[in-house]
Structure 1
Amino acid sequence: MRLVVIEDDPYWQQAIRAIIEHRPGYRVVATCGNVVQALRTVQETVFDLIIVDLGLPDGSGIDVIRAARRHQPEADILVATVFADEANVVAAIYAGATGYLLKESAPDQWIAAIDELRAGNSPIDPKIARHILGAVQRGRGGLGRQPAGDQAPNADDEATSLNDPGLTAREMEVLQLVARGFTLVEVAKFLNMSPHTSRGHAKAIYRKLEVGSRGEAVFEASALGLI
Protein backbone atom coordinates (compact mmCIF):
# COMPACT_ATOMS: atom_id res chain seq x y z
CA MET A 1 0.00 0.00 0.00
CA ARG A 2 1.35 3.40 -1.06
CA LEU A 3 1.36 6.15 1.55
CA VAL A 4 2.05 9.87 1.42
CA VAL A 5 3.03 11.63 4.65
CA ILE A 6 2.33 15.36 5.08
CA GLU A 7 4.28 16.45 8.17
CA ASP A 8 6.67 19.36 8.77
CA ASP A 9 8.33 18.13 11.98
CA PRO A 10 11.39 15.94 11.18
CA TYR A 11 10.88 13.96 14.39
CA TRP A 12 7.34 12.98 13.42
CA GLN A 13 8.35 12.33 9.83
CA GLN A 14 10.81 9.72 11.05
CA ALA A 15 8.45 8.35 13.69
CA ILE A 16 5.60 7.86 11.20
CA ARG A 17 7.93 6.29 8.64
CA ALA A 18 9.31 3.90 11.28
CA ILE A 19 5.80 2.84 12.31
CA ILE A 20 4.68 2.29 8.73
CA GLU A 21 7.77 0.48 7.50
CA HIS A 22 7.44 -2.14 10.24
CA ARG A 23 4.19 -3.20 8.59
CA PRO A 24 4.60 -5.61 5.63
CA GLY A 25 3.08 -4.32 2.42
CA TYR A 26 3.16 -0.64 3.38
CA ARG A 27 5.45 1.80 1.58
CA VAL A 28 5.95 5.57 1.94
CA VAL A 29 6.12 7.01 -1.58
CA ALA A 30 6.41 10.71 -0.65
CA THR A 31 6.94 12.95 2.37
CA CYS A 32 6.06 16.66 2.31
CA GLY A 33 6.73 19.35 4.89
CA ASN A 34 4.40 22.13 3.74
CA VAL A 35 1.16 22.84 1.90
CA VAL A 36 2.80 23.88 -1.38
CA GLN A 37 4.74 20.61 -1.66
CA ALA A 38 1.71 18.61 -0.55
CA LEU A 39 -0.65 20.12 -3.13
CA ARG A 40 1.82 19.33 -5.89
CA THR A 41 2.33 15.80 -4.59
CA VAL A 42 -1.37 14.88 -4.43
CA GLN A 43 -1.67 15.85 -8.09
CA GLU A 44 1.43 14.02 -9.29
CA THR A 45 1.66 10.93 -7.04
CA VAL A 46 -0.54 7.84 -6.98
CA PHE A 47 -1.28 6.78 -3.40
CA ASP A 48 -3.71 4.67 -1.39
CA LEU A 49 -3.48 6.56 1.90
CA ILE A 50 -2.37 10.04 2.86
CA ILE A 51 -1.47 10.95 6.45
CA VAL A 52 -1.95 14.67 7.03
CA ASP A 53 -0.93 17.00 9.84
CA LEU A 54 -3.21 20.03 10.13
CA GLY A 55 -0.65 22.53 11.42
CA LEU A 56 1.74 23.20 8.54
CA PRO A 57 4.11 26.18 8.29
CA ASP A 58 2.49 27.74 5.23
CA GLY A 59 -1.17 26.91 5.82
CA SER A 60 -3.66 24.29 6.94
CA GLY A 61 -3.62 20.59 6.21
CA ILE A 62 -7.35 20.90 5.55
CA ASP A 63 -6.50 22.43 2.15
CA VAL A 64 -4.41 19.35 1.43
CA ILE A 65 -7.29 17.08 2.45
CA ARG A 66 -9.63 18.82 0.01
CA ALA A 67 -7.08 18.55 -2.80
CA ALA A 68 -6.39 14.88 -2.07
CA ARG A 69 -10.09 14.07 -2.06
CA ARG A 70 -10.56 15.93 -5.34
CA HIS A 71 -7.63 14.36 -7.20
CA GLN A 72 -7.77 10.83 -5.73
CA PRO A 73 -11.31 10.30 -4.42
CA GLU A 74 -10.81 6.61 -3.65
CA ALA A 75 -7.80 7.16 -1.38
CA ASP A 76 -8.09 7.15 2.40
CA ILE A 77 -7.12 10.24 4.38
CA LEU A 78 -5.90 9.96 7.96
CA VAL A 79 -5.48 13.14 10.00
CA ALA A 80 -2.61 12.78 12.48
CA THR A 81 -2.28 15.91 14.56
CA VAL A 82 -2.12 17.49 18.01
CA PHE A 83 -5.30 19.48 17.29
CA ALA A 84 -8.27 17.94 19.09
CA ASP A 85 -10.61 20.96 19.12
CA GLU A 86 -14.05 20.67 17.60
CA ALA A 87 -13.49 23.24 14.85
CA ASN A 88 -10.53 21.34 13.39
CA VAL A 89 -12.17 17.94 13.83
CA VAL A 90 -15.39 18.87 12.03
CA ALA A 91 -13.58 20.87 9.32
CA ALA A 92 -11.24 17.96 8.57
CA ILE A 93 -14.06 15.45 8.32
CA TYR A 94 -16.10 17.68 6.05
CA ALA A 95 -13.05 18.31 3.89
CA GLY A 96 -12.88 14.56 3.26
CA ALA A 97 -10.86 12.92 6.06
CA THR A 98 -11.79 9.29 6.69
CA GLY A 99 -9.94 8.92 10.00
CA TYR A 100 -8.65 11.13 12.82
CA LEU A 101 -5.75 10.16 15.09
CA LEU A 102 -3.85 12.13 17.71
CA LYS A 103 -0.07 12.04 17.38
CA GLU A 104 0.29 10.98 21.01
CA SER A 105 -1.26 7.61 20.11
CA ALA A 106 0.87 4.52 20.66
CA PRO A 107 2.46 2.80 17.61
CA ASP A 108 -0.01 -0.08 17.79
CA GLN A 109 -2.87 2.44 17.66
CA TRP A 110 -1.34 3.95 14.52
CA ILE A 111 -1.15 0.56 12.85
CA ALA A 112 -4.68 -0.33 13.97
CA ALA A 113 -6.01 2.95 12.54
CA ILE A 114 -4.32 2.36 9.18
CA ASP A 115 -5.58 -1.23 9.04
CA GLU A 116 -9.10 -0.06 9.87
CA LEU A 117 -9.02 2.48 7.07
CA ARG A 118 -7.99 -0.13 4.54
CA ALA A 119 -10.77 -2.41 5.82
CA GLY A 120 -13.31 0.30 4.99
CA ASN A 121 -13.81 1.67 8.49
CA SER A 122 -13.30 5.21 9.80
CA PRO A 123 -11.07 5.14 12.91
CA ILE A 124 -11.62 8.09 15.23
CA ASP A 125 -9.62 8.68 18.40
CA PRO A 126 -11.99 8.37 21.42
CA LYS A 127 -11.03 11.89 22.49
CA ILE A 128 -12.24 13.14 19.11
CA ALA A 129 -15.55 11.26 19.06
CA ARG A 130 -17.05 13.53 21.70
CA HIS A 131 -16.52 16.55 19.44
CA ILE A 132 -18.24 14.81 16.55
CA LEU A 133 -21.22 13.92 18.72
CA GLY A 134 -21.41 17.52 19.90
CA ALA A 135 -21.40 18.79 16.32
CA VAL A 136 -24.16 16.37 15.33
CA GLN A 137 -26.32 17.23 18.32
CA ARG A 138 -26.05 20.97 17.74
CA GLY A 139 -26.47 20.76 13.97
CA ARG A 140 -23.00 22.10 13.21
CA GLY A 141 -21.71 21.95 9.64
CA GLY A 142 -25.05 20.93 8.15
CA LEU A 143 -25.50 17.89 10.37
CA GLY A 144 -28.79 17.28 12.10
CA ARG A 145 -30.49 19.98 10.01
CA GLN A 146 -33.50 21.57 11.66
CA PRO A 147 -36.46 22.94 9.69
CA ALA A 148 -36.86 26.68 9.59
CA GLY A 149 -39.49 28.45 11.66
CA ASP A 150 -40.42 28.58 15.32
CA GLN A 151 -43.10 25.91 15.31
CA ALA A 152 -42.20 22.26 15.66
CA PRO A 153 -43.03 20.20 12.54
CA ASN A 154 -45.34 17.22 12.68
CA ALA A 155 -43.85 13.73 12.53
CA ASP A 156 -44.28 13.34 8.76
CA ASP A 157 -42.67 16.70 8.01
CA GLU A 158 -39.79 15.98 10.36
CA ALA A 159 -39.08 12.62 8.75
CA THR A 160 -39.00 14.25 5.34
CA SER A 161 -36.82 17.22 6.31
CA LEU A 162 -34.38 15.42 8.59
CA ASN A 163 -34.09 11.82 7.52
CA ASP A 164 -35.17 11.66 3.88
CA PRO A 165 -32.86 13.44 1.45
CA GLY A 166 -34.70 11.74 -1.42
CA LEU A 167 -32.26 8.94 -2.26
CA THR A 168 -33.56 6.29 -4.63
CA ALA A 169 -33.43 2.60 -3.73
CA ARG A 170 -30.43 2.13 -6.03
CA GLU A 171 -28.64 5.15 -4.54
CA MET A 172 -29.20 3.66 -1.08
CA GLU A 173 -27.60 0.40 -2.25
CA VAL A 174 -24.58 2.32 -3.54
CA LEU A 175 -24.35 4.36 -0.34
CA GLN A 176 -24.46 1.26 1.86
CA LEU A 177 -21.70 -0.42 -0.12
CA VAL A 178 -19.56 2.73 -0.08
CA ALA A 179 -20.07 2.94 3.69
CA ARG A 180 -18.70 -0.61 3.96
CA GLY A 181 -15.51 0.49 2.20
CA PHE A 182 -16.11 -0.66 -1.38
CA THR A 183 -14.71 1.51 -4.17
CA LEU A 184 -17.07 2.71 -6.89
CA VAL A 185 -15.50 0.23 -9.32
CA GLU A 186 -16.23 -2.59 -6.85
CA VAL A 187 -19.75 -1.25 -6.31
CA ALA A 188 -20.31 -1.35 -10.07
CA LYS A 189 -19.25 -5.00 -10.26
CA PHE A 190 -21.31 -5.96 -7.22
CA LEU A 191 -24.47 -4.29 -8.55
CA ASN A 192 -23.86 -5.34 -12.16
CA MET A 193 -23.57 -1.84 -13.58
CA SER A 194 -20.88 0.14 -15.36
CA PRO A 195 -18.35 2.23 -13.38
CA HIS A 196 -19.78 5.27 -15.16
CA THR A 197 -23.22 4.48 -13.73
CA SER A 198 -21.90 3.94 -10.21
CA ARG A 199 -20.08 7.28 -10.38
CA GLY A 200 -23.32 8.89 -11.52
CA HIS A 201 -25.15 7.45 -8.53
CA ALA A 202 -22.37 8.68 -6.23
CA LYS A 203 -22.64 12.20 -7.63
CA ALA A 204 -26.40 12.14 -7.07
CA ILE A 205 -25.86 10.96 -3.49
CA TYR A 206 -23.35 13.73 -2.81
CA ARG A 207 -25.72 16.32 -4.27
CA LYS A 208 -28.72 15.17 -2.24
CA LEU A 209 -26.73 14.92 0.99
CA GLU A 210 -25.07 18.26 0.23
CA VAL A 211 -21.56 16.85 0.60
CA GLY A 212 -18.48 16.58 -1.58
CA SER A 213 -16.75 13.29 -0.76
CA ARG A 214 -17.18 9.68 0.29
CA GLY A 215 -16.20 10.41 3.88
CA GLU A 216 -18.66 13.29 4.14
CA ALA A 217 -21.45 11.19 2.59
CA VAL A 218 -20.95 8.35 5.06
CA PHE A 219 -20.71 10.77 7.98
CA GLU A 220 -23.85 12.68 6.95
CA ALA A 221 -25.83 9.52 6.16
CA SER A 222 -24.89 8.08 9.55
CA ALA A 223 -25.97 11.30 11.28
CA LEU A 224 -29.31 11.14 9.48
CA GLY A 225 -29.81 7.51 10.43
CA LEU A 226 -29.70 6.27 6.84
CA ILE A 227 -26.93 3.71 7.47
Structure 2
Amino acid sequence: MLNELFTPSVQHALDIVGIFVFAISGALLAVRKNFDVFGIAVLAEVTALGGGLFRDIVIGAVPPAAFTDLGYFTTPLLAAVLVFFLHPHVERIQVGVNVFDAAGLGLFCVTGTVKAYDYGLGLTASAALGLATAVGGGVLRDVLANEVPSLLRWDRDLYAVPAIVGATTTVLCIRFGALNAFTSGTAVIAAFALRLLSMRYHWRAPRAYNRKSATAEESSATT
Protein backbone atom coordinates (compact mmCIF):
# COMPACT_ATOMS: atom_id res chain seq x y z
CA MET A 1 0.00 0.00 0.00
CA LEU A 2 2.85 2.38 0.78
CA ASN A 3 4.24 2.00 -2.75
CA GLU A 4 0.83 2.90 -4.12
CA LEU A 5 0.92 6.29 -2.35
CA PHE A 6 4.46 7.34 -3.26
CA THR A 7 6.91 6.05 -5.84
CA PRO A 8 9.99 4.42 -4.25
CA SER A 9 12.21 7.33 -5.28
CA VAL A 10 9.85 9.94 -3.82
CA GLN A 11 9.40 7.92 -0.63
CA HIS A 12 13.17 7.56 -0.25
CA ALA A 13 13.76 11.28 -0.81
CA LEU A 14 11.11 12.24 1.76
CA ASP A 15 12.57 9.78 4.27
CA ILE A 16 16.07 11.21 3.82
CA VAL A 17 14.84 14.78 4.37
CA GLY A 18 12.92 13.77 7.52
CA ILE A 19 15.88 11.78 8.85
CA PHE A 20 18.25 14.70 8.23
CA VAL A 21 16.10 17.21 10.10
CA PHE A 22 15.50 14.88 13.05
CA ALA A 23 19.25 14.24 13.18
CA ILE A 24 19.91 18.00 13.31
CA SER A 25 17.70 18.31 16.40
CA GLY A 26 19.53 15.44 18.11
CA ALA A 27 22.95 16.83 17.28
CA LEU A 28 22.00 20.31 18.53
CA LEU A 29 20.90 18.88 21.87
CA ALA A 30 24.21 17.04 22.12
CA VAL A 31 26.08 20.32 21.57
CA ARG A 32 23.99 22.05 24.25
CA LYS A 33 24.86 19.18 26.61
CA ASN A 34 28.57 19.61 25.79
CA PHE A 35 28.89 16.09 24.32
CA ASP A 36 31.99 15.16 22.33
CA VAL A 37 31.94 14.35 18.62
CA PHE A 38 30.98 10.71 19.26
CA GLY A 39 28.10 11.76 21.50
CA ILE A 40 26.89 14.19 18.84
CA ALA A 41 26.92 11.43 16.23
CA VAL A 42 25.11 8.97 18.52
CA LEU A 43 22.36 11.42 19.40
CA ALA A 44 21.93 12.34 15.74
CA GLU A 45 21.60 8.67 14.73
CA VAL A 46 19.24 7.77 17.57
CA THR A 47 16.97 10.76 17.02
CA ALA A 48 16.75 10.20 13.28
CA LEU A 49 16.37 6.41 13.19
CA GLY A 50 15.06 5.36 16.60
CA GLY A 51 11.35 5.53 15.82
CA GLY A 52 11.60 3.70 12.51
CA LEU A 53 13.95 1.10 14.00
CA PHE A 54 11.48 0.37 16.80
CA ARG A 55 8.61 0.06 14.32
CA ASP A 56 10.48 -2.29 12.00
CA ILE A 57 11.51 -4.59 14.85
CA VAL A 58 7.93 -4.76 16.17
CA ILE A 59 6.39 -5.57 12.78
CA GLY A 60 9.16 -8.01 11.84
CA ALA A 61 10.60 -5.97 8.98
CA VAL A 62 14.12 -7.24 9.59
CA PRO A 63 16.80 -6.29 9.03
CA PRO A 64 15.42 -2.79 9.58
CA ALA A 65 15.65 -0.24 6.78
CA ALA A 66 18.15 1.75 8.85
CA PHE A 67 20.68 -1.05 8.31
CA THR A 68 19.86 -2.05 4.73
CA ASP A 69 19.97 1.42 3.17
CA LEU A 70 23.32 3.16 3.48
CA GLY A 71 21.67 6.55 2.91
CA TYR A 72 19.53 6.15 6.01
CA PHE A 73 22.58 5.44 8.16
CA THR A 74 24.96 8.05 6.73
CA THR A 75 22.52 10.98 6.58
CA PRO A 76 22.50 11.47 10.39
CA LEU A 77 26.31 11.38 10.33
CA LEU A 78 26.34 14.19 7.77
CA ALA A 79 23.96 16.17 9.97
CA ALA A 80 26.24 15.56 12.95
CA VAL A 81 29.27 16.84 11.04
CA LEU A 82 27.33 19.92 9.95
CA VAL A 83 26.28 20.72 13.51
CA PHE A 84 29.75 19.95 14.91
CA PHE A 85 31.36 22.63 12.75
CA LEU A 86 28.51 25.07 12.16
CA HIS A 87 26.25 24.79 15.21
CA PRO A 88 26.17 28.57 15.92
CA HIS A 89 24.80 29.13 12.41
CA VAL A 90 22.38 26.21 12.69
CA GLU A 91 21.08 27.61 15.98
CA ARG A 92 20.24 30.88 14.18
CA ILE A 93 17.93 29.06 11.79
CA GLN A 94 16.25 27.06 14.56
CA VAL A 95 12.83 28.29 13.42
CA GLY A 96 13.42 26.81 9.99
CA VAL A 97 14.66 23.55 11.51
CA ASN A 98 11.50 23.38 13.62
CA VAL A 99 9.35 23.80 10.51
CA PHE A 100 11.11 20.92 8.76
CA ASP A 101 10.92 18.88 11.96
CA ALA A 102 7.14 19.40 11.96
CA ALA A 103 7.03 18.26 8.34
CA GLY A 104 9.02 15.13 9.25
CA LEU A 105 6.64 14.46 12.12
CA GLY A 106 3.65 14.62 9.78
CA LEU A 107 5.28 12.43 7.15
CA PHE A 108 6.55 9.72 9.49
CA CYS A 109 3.33 9.34 11.48
CA VAL A 110 1.51 8.59 8.20
CA THR A 111 4.10 6.37 6.51
CA GLY A 112 4.75 4.53 9.79
CA THR A 113 1.05 3.80 10.18
CA VAL A 114 0.70 2.54 6.60
CA LYS A 115 3.80 0.35 6.84
CA ALA A 116 2.56 -1.23 10.07
CA TYR A 117 -0.80 -1.95 8.44
CA ASP A 118 0.94 -3.44 5.38
CA TYR A 119 2.62 -5.93 7.75
CA GLY A 120 -0.72 -7.18 9.04
CA LEU A 121 -1.34 -5.13 12.18
CA GLY A 122 -4.83 -3.91 13.09
CA LEU A 123 -5.88 -0.31 12.76
CA THR A 124 -5.30 0.67 16.39
CA ALA A 125 -1.89 -1.00 16.56
CA SER A 126 -0.92 0.57 13.23
CA ALA A 127 -1.81 4.04 14.49
CA ALA A 128 0.20 3.42 17.67
CA LEU A 129 3.25 2.42 15.64
CA GLY A 130 2.75 5.43 13.39
CA LEU A 131 2.97 7.59 16.50
CA ALA A 132 6.04 5.67 17.70
CA THR A 133 7.72 6.15 14.32
CA ALA A 134 7.23 9.91 14.53
CA VAL A 135 8.19 10.52 18.16
CA GLY A 136 10.24 7.51 19.23
CA GLY A 137 13.59 8.95 18.20
CA GLY A 138 12.97 12.12 20.18
CA VAL A 139 12.13 10.12 23.30
CA LEU A 140 15.34 8.08 23.00
CA ARG A 141 17.31 11.28 22.40
CA ASP A 142 16.04 12.87 25.60
CA VAL A 143 16.61 9.72 27.66
CA LEU A 144 20.22 9.45 26.48
CA ALA A 145 20.72 13.15 27.22
CA ASN A 146 19.39 12.59 30.77
CA GLU A 147 16.33 14.78 30.27
CA VAL A 148 12.64 14.19 30.87
CA PRO A 149 11.35 13.40 27.37
CA SER A 150 9.73 16.45 25.77
CA LEU A 151 6.81 14.17 24.96
CA LEU A 152 5.96 13.95 28.67
CA ARG A 153 6.51 17.56 29.72
CA TRP A 154 3.52 19.82 30.22
CA ASP A 155 5.58 22.96 29.51
CA ARG A 156 6.30 21.97 25.90
CA ASP A 157 4.15 22.72 22.87
CA LEU A 158 2.02 19.87 21.54
CA TYR A 159 4.11 17.24 19.77
CA ALA A 160 2.51 13.84 20.20
CA VAL A 161 -1.02 15.15 19.60
CA PRO A 162 -0.32 16.23 15.99
CA ALA A 163 1.21 12.81 15.30
CA ILE A 164 -1.84 11.13 16.82
CA VAL A 165 -4.10 13.22 14.58
CA GLY A 166 -2.09 12.23 11.49
CA ALA A 167 -2.01 8.53 12.39
CA THR A 168 -5.71 8.47 13.31
CA THR A 169 -6.69 10.19 10.07
CA THR A 170 -4.67 7.59 8.19
CA VAL A 171 -6.32 4.57 9.80
CA LEU A 172 -9.77 6.09 9.29
CA CYS A 173 -8.98 6.43 5.60
CA ILE A 174 -7.82 2.81 5.55
CA ARG A 175 -10.97 1.69 7.38
CA PHE A 176 -13.27 3.31 4.85
CA GLY A 177 -11.20 2.41 1.81
CA ALA A 178 -10.33 6.03 1.10
CA LEU A 179 -6.56 5.98 1.48
CA ASN A 180 -4.83 7.40 -1.56
CA ALA A 181 -2.15 9.95 -2.35
CA PHE A 182 -4.55 12.84 -1.74
CA THR A 183 -5.96 11.66 1.60
CA SER A 184 -2.56 10.56 2.90
CA GLY A 185 -1.19 13.96 1.94
CA THR A 186 -4.09 15.54 3.81
CA ALA A 187 -3.18 13.53 6.92
CA VAL A 188 0.45 14.67 6.64
CA ILE A 189 -0.63 18.30 6.25
CA ALA A 190 -3.06 18.05 9.18
CA ALA A 191 -0.32 16.83 11.53
CA PHE A 192 2.14 19.36 10.12
CA ALA A 193 -0.26 22.29 10.46
CA LEU A 194 -1.31 21.35 13.99
CA ARG A 195 2.31 21.16 15.06
CA LEU A 196 3.06 24.57 13.53
CA LEU A 197 0.02 26.12 15.21
CA SER A 198 1.00 24.63 18.56
CA MET A 199 4.45 26.20 18.23
CA ARG A 200 3.01 29.53 17.12
CA TYR A 201 0.41 29.78 19.88
CA HIS A 202 2.12 27.57 22.49
CA TRP A 203 -0.72 25.08 22.74
CA ARG A 204 -0.17 22.51 25.47
CA ALA A 205 -1.99 19.45 26.71
CA PRO A 206 -4.05 19.90 29.90
CA ARG A 207 -2.75 18.67 33.23
CA ALA A 208 -4.74 16.84 35.89
CA TYR A 209 -8.07 18.47 36.72
CA ASN A 210 -8.10 20.65 39.85
CA ARG A 211 -4.40 20.06 40.35
CA LYS A 212 -2.78 21.92 43.28
CA SER A 213 0.25 24.07 42.57
CA ALA A 214 3.68 22.53 43.06
CA THR A 215 4.50 25.20 45.65
CA ALA A 216 1.51 24.30 47.80
CA GLU A 217 2.34 20.61 47.58
CA GLU A 218 5.96 21.19 48.61
CA SER A 219 4.87 23.38 51.57
CA SER A 220 2.44 20.77 52.88
CA ALA A 221 5.08 18.06 52.53
CA THR A 222 7.56 19.93 54.70
CA THR A 223 5.15 20.77 57.55
TM-score, normalised to structure 1, is 0.28
Between Structure 1 and Structure 2, which shows a larger proportion of helix residues?
2
The one of the two structures with greater contact order (alpha-carbon pairs below 8 A, sep at least 6) is 2
TM-score, normalised to structure 2, is 0.28
Between Structure 1 and Structure 2, which shows a larger proportion of strand residues?
1
